Amino acid sequence: MARIIHTRAQRLAAAKLRLRRKTFDRTTREVSNDIQRIILGGVDKKKGYTKTAKTIALKHDLPEKQAETIVKTETHEIRGVMQEIDFEQSDPSGKAKYRWLVISDSRKCEICEAVGKRSKNGVNLQRLKEIIREEKIKAGMKNLDYEWTLHPRCRCVAQRVFK
Ligand SMILES: [Zn+2]
């Protein structure tokens, strides 16, 4: 099967367009956009979380710990959107199945567990997004702009199911 290869830079550029709509909790649109710009730059240049978090903490007067949570959470969302673009391009007919892979560590949460359970046999990409949204609402998560990040510091990811 022919597979379209897109460079990381192309996927990042496409992700930027989709990310424009998303805002963080507890910040204004302006601050959110600026933080997002810094984080995207960090992802682009493959800077570490700590370095990017320090830049943000300094510029926006945030505690470093909080800045680090924002960087980790937002970077996860950026990677999720890039992966979504990759999935869409490698499966234009939308027939492929995906599941939510729960990264088993101390931070794993009930939302991810629930999404993992409901998608364990594989669902299409749109359905997976719906399940994520439903479980976030059920858990009382306010920020539904994050489509691939279910809770702060989430590390769980979508995974294509091959049968
Ligand atoms: Zn998670």
Of 156, 89, 95, 151, which is closest to residue 126 (Cα–Cα)?
Answer: 95
Question: What is the distance in A from the centroid of ligand 1 to the CA of 65?
Answer: 19
What is the reported pLDDT for 106? 55
Question: What is the distance in A from the centroid of ligand 1 to the CA of 80?
Answer: 12
Residue predicted with more confidence, 6 or 67: 67
Question: What is the distance in A from the centroid of ligand 1 to the CA of 157?
Answer: 8
C-beta neighbour count of 19 within 10 angstroms:
19
- Tell me the pLDDT band of 2, cut-offs 50, 70 and 90: very low
pLDDT tens per residue, range 109-141? 789 999 999 999 999 999 999 999 999 999 988
Q: Are 148 and 84 in contact (CB under 8 A)?
A: yes
Question: What is the distance in A from the centroid of ligand 1 to the CA of 6?
Answer: 27
* Rounded Cα–Cα distance for residues 15 and 59 (Å): 24
What is the reported pLDDT for 1? 42
**Mean pLDDT taken over the chain:** 86
DSSP string, 7-39: -HHHHHHHHHHHHTT---TTS-HHHHHHHHHHH
Question: What is the distance in A from the centroid of ligand 1 to the CA of 45?
Answer: 25
Residue predicted with more confidence, 10 or 106: 10
Question: What is the distance in A from the centroid of ligand 1 to the CA of 112?
Answer: 5
Residue predicted with more confidence, 8 or 35: 35
DSSP state of 1: -
The three-state DSSP-derived secondary structure of 75-131 is HHHHHHHHHHHHHHHHCCCCCCEEEEECCCCCCCCHHHHHHHHHCCCCECHHHHHHH
